[in-house]
Amino acid sequence: MAEILGLIGVGKLGLPIAESLIAGGFSLRVWNRTPEKAAGLIARGAEASKSPADTAIAGGQVVTILADDRALLEVADDAFCKAVGTGIHISVSTVSPVTSRTVAERHARFGGRFVAAPVFGRPEAAAAKKLWVCTSGDAASKAAVRPVLDAIGQGIFDFGEEVGAANVVKLAGNFLITAAVEAMAEASAMAEKNGVPRADLLNMLNSTVFNCPIHVSYGKAIINAQFEPAGFPVPLILKDMHLVQKTASDARAPMPIVNLLIDRYLTMLAKGLDRYDAVGLAQGVAADAGLSW
C-alpha cells in the first residue's frame, strides 16, 4: 500500500509537485483554498480533504506549498498542529526564517516536528522533478522526509538544524536571481543606447563569461521581451524582496540593492503589471533610458 501523504497548496508550483509525488508512489490527501484547482489530482486518485487539519495524517507527514507567510501561519494553526501530532510538517514555501521558527514552535507544543524545505525552480522544473531543495531542521526529521524530497527534486542541500536557515538561503538566492535580471537589464539599456542590440550583447556574454542557467534563461527572456506568462509573477517576487529586506535589517546587514529592486517591482504594480514575470523589470529599465520595447 502506498504511503499516504498530506499536501496543502495546489498552485503553479504545488500542482506539479503533487503530480511528482503521485508518480513517485505516494497517495495524497489534498486541500486547497480553491478546491477546483485540485480536481485533476482527485481524478487521479488523490483524496480531497475538507480543511488543513483534515489533511494532516496523525503521526505522518504533510507538505505545504503556500504563497506567503500569512498563508502558512493561517494553515498551521493549533487545530492543524494537533492533527499532525507527532508527525512531520514539510514546508516548501518561500517564507521568512522567523515564520518557520514560529511554526516549528507551534508543532513542538503537540510533539510534532517541522522541516523547512524551500526549493529553487520554476513550475516547469517541478514538473520535470528538477527542483533544487534546501533543508533545515533536526537531523532525524530530515532523514525521515528524504523520500518525499527525492521524489520532487534533483538534489538536496542541507543547512543544519536551525530551522530557519534554509529560508535564509532561499531568500538570498531569489535576491541574487532578480539582482542578475536588473544587472542584465541595465547593461542591455546602456548597450542599446550606444548602438549595440541587446541580443548581441547578451548572447555573447551569456554564452561565455556568464554562461549559467540564470543568465541564460533570463537573458533570453530579456532579449525576447517575454514577460508573460509569468512563472515568477511580480507580486510574489516583491513579497520575497520585502522578506529579504526584513531579514537583512533584523541581522543589521545592509543590502542597498534590494531597496532598488523593491522600487522596481512597486513601479510595475503601480502600472498594473501584476501579471508580468519578474523579468519584466527590464521593460522599466529600458523606459528609464528612453527606449521603447
The identity of residue 26, as a single letter, is F
Q: Is the pTM of this model over 0.75?
A: yes
Taking the C-alpha atoms of residue 196 and residue 186, their distance in angstroms, rounded to an integer, is 13
Provide CB contacts within 8 A for 41, sequence distance 6+: 10, 15, 18, 19, 22, 28, 30
Q: Are 11 and 65 in contact, with CB atoms under 8 Å apart?
A: yes
Taking the C-alpha atoms of residue 127 and residue 13, their distance in angstroms, rounded to an integer, is 9
Provide CB contacts within 8 A for 212, sequence distance 6+: none
- Where exactly are the structural domains of the chain? 4-161, 168-288
Active site residue 239: no
Residue 176: what pLDDT?
98
Residue 93: what pLDDT?
96
The identity of residue 14, as a single letter, is G
Provide CB contacts within 8 A for 196, sequence distance 6+: none
Grid coordinates given for 280: 519584466
Residue 2: what pLDDT?
60
Average pLDDT per consecutive 10 residues, the chain (293 residues; last block may be shorter): 86 96 96 93 94 95 97 98 98 98 98 98 94 98 98 98 98 98 98 98 98 96 94 94 98 98 98 95 96 86
Q: Which residue has the cell 527606449?
A: 291
Residue 31: what pLDDT?
97
Grid coordinates given for 236: 510574489
Question: Which one of the listed residues 12, 170, 193, 246 is annotated catalytic?
Answer: 170
Question: Rounded to 5 degrees, what are φ and ψ at 61?
Answer: -125, 145
Of 123, 104, 1, 112, the C-alpha closest to 58 is 112
Residue 3: what pLDDT?
83
Instruction: Indicate the CATH number of 168-288 among 1.10.1040.10, 1.10.630.10, 3.30.530.20, 1.10.1740.110.
Output: 1.10.1040.10
Same fold, 4-161 and 168-288: no
Class of domain 4-161: alpha beta
Task: Supply the DSSP symbol for 38.
Answer: G
